[in-house]
Chain A
Amino acid sequence: SQQGEEDPQALSIQEGENATMNCSYKTSINNLQWYRQNSGRGLVHLILIRSNEREKHSGRLRVTLDTSKKSSSLLITASRAADTASYFCATIGYGQNFVFGPGTRLSVLP
């Protein structure tokens, strides 16, 4: 079954605003990861949150995980034009594959 479905599919904001993306999944996970993909490039790992963690920070990124709701959110604060990219969540269950969602396309307008 497909996991890691992001919401919204596309998001446009002004520079300086915060951007929030959500990810939902269906089965138990070991950890959940967020990746960024710039146009024409490979994915770059942003942050990993384990199933026993509820919140994690890295610079301007804040990730939350609610295992009871099977959902995660990625918050980018004080966005910049350089944050324009697609953002993917990936889930990994015990003994299972990585499963990526379809991604959220973020556009940060100057």
Chain B
Amino acid sequence: DTAVSQTPKYLVTQMGNDKSIKCEQNLGHDTMYWYKQDSKKFLKIMFSYNNKELIINETVPNRFSPKSPDKAHLNLHINSLELGDSAVYFCASSQERTRDHYEQYFGPGTRLTVT
């Protein structure tokens, strides 16, 4: 069984469009994350959710909005896409962020290309 899954795997869209990426984890973890990996492979955290509450909101444009319908899901919605949004987006989950920081489990990534 896949622990952390993301859909879609590839997403090609035009500038100005709105798109969503979905993430689901079946590990029972309390915390989920979204990361952006640029072309140089640098991985930057964007958001994390703990028990449906946003606890980290890095300095990302407000065009990006995480949505968590329940503890097992954290979706990423992007408005008015720009060329610079092209990257690979990874979802991850872990246990108990507030008490100790266990290892993170990553999804396979979504490669977003904005044309």
Asked if A88 is at the interface of the complex by the 8 Å CB criterion, the answer is yes
Chain A residue at minimum C-beta to C-beta distance from B44: A100
Give the residues in chain B near A33, CB-CB below 8 Å.
Answer: 103-104
- B103 CB contacts on chain A under 8 angstroms: 33, 45, 48
| A86 interfacial by beta-carbon distance below 8 Å | yes
Q: How big is the B interface, by class?
A: 20 to 34
Residues on A with C-beta less than 8 A from B56 are 97
How many residues on A have C-beta within 8 angstroms of the other chain's C-beta atoms? 23
Contacts of A31 in B (CB 8 A): 100-101
* Contact yes or no, A100 B43, CB < 8 A: yes
For residues 1 through 57 of chain B, which have their beta carbon under 8 Å from a beta carbon of chain A? 4, 33, 35, 40-45, 48, 56
Closest chain-A Cβ to B111's Cβ sits at a distance in Å of 8
Q: Closest CB-CB distance, B50 to chain A, in whole Å?
A: 12
Contact of A102 among B42, B45, B101, B105 (CB under 8 A): B42
Chain A window 61-102, contacts with chain B (Cβ cutoff 8 Å), 1 for yes, 0 for no = 000000000000000000000000010101010000111101
